[in-house]
Amino acid sequence: MFKTKCLVTVLALTGSMSVMAQALPTKAPAPADNPTTKEKVELGKMLYHDPRLSSSGTVSCASCHNTMLGGDDNRGGSVGVGGQVGGRSAPTVWNAAFNKVQFWDGRAASLEEQAAGPVTNPIEMGMKSWDDVVARLEKIDGYQKAFSKVFGKDSISKDNATKAIAAYERTLITPNSPYDKYVKGKKSAMTAQQVRGMKKAVELGCTGCHSGPAFNGAGTFQKFPTIKNGYFEAQYDLSDDKGLAEVTGKEDDENYWKVPTLRNIALTAPYFHNGKVKTLDRAVQLMAKLQLGVDLEDNDIEDIVAFLHALTGEFPKQEMPKLPGLDDKTFN
């Protein structure tokens, strides 16, 4: 994990534009030990949408990362088993394959590692252990057959389940946004206001952190808020959660966060790690003030918000899987 301590990498306008002008790839790279196959993706889709991976049988991965929406749940804190509410806003699963690290605090280095966490988190899906998950899946003939088809006989395991979920998540890519079409040469794909907003974002230095095709940095962490402001702190409690420091235990890492993607951000309110900022225009205003020390004019905020809408891509059609039944048995 790479963490930059600078306020923002300020680039020259022309240089920033060249760095920024990258369309989103239509395919995500897979690790050597988990190649993407059609059968593995289908198995992963089943597991991703199956609430039986939770202790109550009511919460699936899709409950908080809904592929029928913007890949999140539009809540400040996601609701897990027993109606428990988490302390962070669910990041979008769309384009998560292009993140260098996963979770707000970057504690998972891969999609496979990320997929393992929520299942045994007591607030999220609440299973006591992955051994219990495996035992539950082994009772279902349909999963026995699906795992055998992908991984071989008697292959139901934590490792293979998370590999399948990660393989499915690598297909969740939203290319061909107005911005993508614009940088490929179709200058009419973005409005004049969106182009102004793009140039303003570059001029301010926003792309020093939100860089690359996914506008999520190169696996970098940034302190947020960088500039203390008692007025906004009282409204939004932005510094209460210590972020990366919760993982490392280091005081120097307090309030550092993985740089999130700006792709489809118009669909993923509320904003920031604690989901306490309800609207995109307010989020833009706060980022300028707390990260860059800039008080934006209303017209600049409107232009930047218009540009962010141009980052909404095309969502591949999602057909819900038929989950395998339990055949005259119950888990209890």
pLDDT at 138 over 70: yes
* Same domain, residue pair 157 and 245: no
* Same domain, residue pair 43 and 74: yes
In a domain, 314, yes or no: no
* Same domain, residue pair 81 and 157: yes
* Same domain, residue pair 195 and 281: yes
Domain end point (choices 169, 187, 202): 169
CATH number at residue 214: 1.10.760.10
In a domain, 75, yes or no: yes
* Same domain, residue pair 209 and 152: no
* Same domain, residue pair 103 and 199: no
In this prediction, residue 63 has a pLDDT band, given cuts at 50, 70 and 90, of very high
pLDDT at 135 over 90: yes
pLDDT digits (tens, 9 = 90+) for 246-296: 999 999 999 999 999 999 999 999 999 999 999 999 999 999 999 999 999
Within 152-297, residue ranges assigned H as helices are 158-169, 178-183, 192-204, 230-236, 245-248, 280-292
Please, are residues 44 and 175 in contact by the beta-carbon 8 Å criterion? no
Q: Which domain holds residue 270?
A: 13-25+175-309
In a domain, 276, yes or no: yes
Mean model confidence pLDDT for the chain: 93
String of b and e for 321-332 (b: at least 16 CB within 10 Å)? bebbeeeeeeee
Please, are residues 45 and 321 in contact by the beta-carbon 8 Å criterion? yes
* Same domain, residue pair 130 and 207: no
* Same domain, residue pair 305 and 184: yes
* Same domain, residue pair 159 and 220: no
pLDDT digits (tens, 9 = 90+) for 69-105: 999 999 999 999 999 999 999 999 999 999 999 999 9
* Same domain, residue pair 79 and 197: no
* Same domain, residue pair 148 and 194: no
Domain end point (choices 118, 148, 169): 169
pLDDT digits (tens, 9 = 90+) for 179-217: 999 999 999 999 999 999 999 999 999 999 999 999 999
Q: pTM of this prediction?
A: 0.93
In a domain, 329, yes or no: no
Residues 6+ apart with CB under 8 A from 318: 67, 68
Of 39, 112, 124, 246, which residue is the catalytic one? 124
Residue 112 designated active-site: no
What are 258's strand-pairing partners?
Answer: 221
In a domain, 3, yes or no: no
The continuous run of DSSP H or E covering 222 comes out as strand 221-223
Could you tell me the two tokens for 108?
A: 């998972």
Domain end point (choices 169, 184, 206): 169
In a domain, 8, yes or no: no
In a domain, 328, yes or no: no
What are 102's strand-pairing partners?
Answer: 108
Q: How many structural domains does the chain have? A: 2
In a domain, 137, yes or no: yes
* Same domain, residue pair 180 and 162: no
Reduced to 3 states (helix: H, G, I; strand: E, B; else coil), residue 223 is strand
In this prediction, residue 298 has a pLDDT band, given cuts at 50, 70 and 90, of very high
